[in-house]
Amino acid sequence: MATIAELMRARNHIAVWEQENGREATPDDIMVILYNQKVEEDRAKREARKRRKQKQPKKKEYLTKRDREYIIVMAACTQGLQNIIDDWEEHDQHPFLLRCLRTANTWLYKAMDWMTKDLPEREKMSLLRDAAYHEVGIIEYSVRRAKEAG
């Protein structure tokens, strides 16, 4: 016998069947409808699983020059955020702001971890050395009104 959940999932199929045949579906008809729906769902799941398996990218054991630069900039950002967090903790800044900065810092670390997860340890150590020896700066700018700029 069909469960209530199965009947709820198949209610549209049952309604269509009843319209097509011009009569109310009997329990035997409902079992056939449920079976056909289950077969259809299983086929869709298999196809989706097959597509997921095909879409998995190959693991790279290297980083492009651009990605290496991005990681170095992210490392600098994490250090800058940590400096701001430490400074604000000393001066009793609002806890919400501190939590936001800590979250941003955590997500930067997660992004760096994800980018380097397939790299060999030797490559990771090389990247850390590069990040330590590079100096990353933020270019300062001033905000001017449109009237002042012209």
Residue 50's φ and ψ, nearest 5 degrees, are -65, -40
pLDDT averaged per 10 residues in sequence order, the chain, 150 residues: 76 85 88 89 91 74 89 90 92 91 95 90 88 76 61
User: Would you say the pTM of this structure is higher than 0.75?
Assistant: no
Q: What is the pLDDT of residues 33-75, one digit of tens each?
A: 889 888 998 999 999 988 887 766 677 788 899 999 999 999 8
Give the contacts of 62 (CB within 8 A, at least 6 positions apart).
119, 123
CA dist., res. 146 & res. 128, Å (int): 43
Give the contacts of 98 (CB within 8 A, at least 6 positions apart).
85, 88, 89
